Amino acid sequence: MQGIGIMFFKLKNTVKLKNSEGFTLLELLLALAIFMIVIGAAYSTFLSQQKSYMVQEQVADMQQNIRAGMFVMQRELRMAGYDPIPHVGLNPDGITALSSNQITFEYINDTNNPNTLDTVSYSLYTSQGRQNLGRRINGSNNYSIADNIDALDFVFFDTAGIQTTSPTQVVSIQITIVARANRDDLDYTNTISYKNASGTEILAPQNDHRRRRLLTTRVKCRNLSLP
């Protein structure tokens, strides 16, 4: 009986081993294919998220840049013609020169010294192959207050709200700036025509790979409406 038991045990183990088969080559290839698909999808998602992040970062930088430039310019334009002590010392003329993309104006900056007159100009200038929004004061060189600016547009209005090109009649100014991103986005083509609030095109479609943003505001030059 003991010998029969041993033979039965060996036979049972032999049958069990024969039924314990491994993976076939086809199953291994199928598992590998599924694994590669999962890895490919994960990598594609990573690249898409990375590109989206880079685009959002460029747009955020561009908006911060254009808003900073506009803030500086509109704040100073409100000072055009400012004279803390009228008829004493130098008398600023307000706006002294203007065009659709440039403006020059005067004001007294130092309230303790009415003989200190500042003459300020805003326009676009090119430096190191890049066009910037520049500020000049008292004949000095331009320095940038906003980089990568494709368009700067001024529209001038008189007391009746009618457009004017006469410096002595200006009481408010519509300012429009178009900024562009630092780098190309090869998956994007810019075909937009950029217009100011009056409907005039200030930048034709560039058909390039740069994203752009337009910002416009209207500044009331409170000192220019004074007698």
If pLDDT is split at 50, 70 and 90, which confidence band does 213 have? very high
Q: Which two tokens stand for residue 12?
A: 């049972």
pLDDT digits over 42-71, tens only? Answer: 878 877 777 776 777 888 899 999 999 999
Ranges of each domain in the chain: 50-220
Q: Could you count the other beta carbons within 10 Å of the beta carbon of residue 4?
A: 8
How many Å apart are CA 37 and CA 165, to the nearest integer? 65
pLDDT of residue 8: 46
Q: What does the alpha-carbon distance between residue 118 and residue 101 come to, in Å, rounded to a whole number?
A: 20
Single pTM value for the model: 0.75
> Would you state the structure tokens that stand for residue 18, as one six-digit string?
């024969």
* Each residue's pLDDT tens digit, 131-144: 999 999 998 899 99
* Tokens matching residue 215: 């910002």
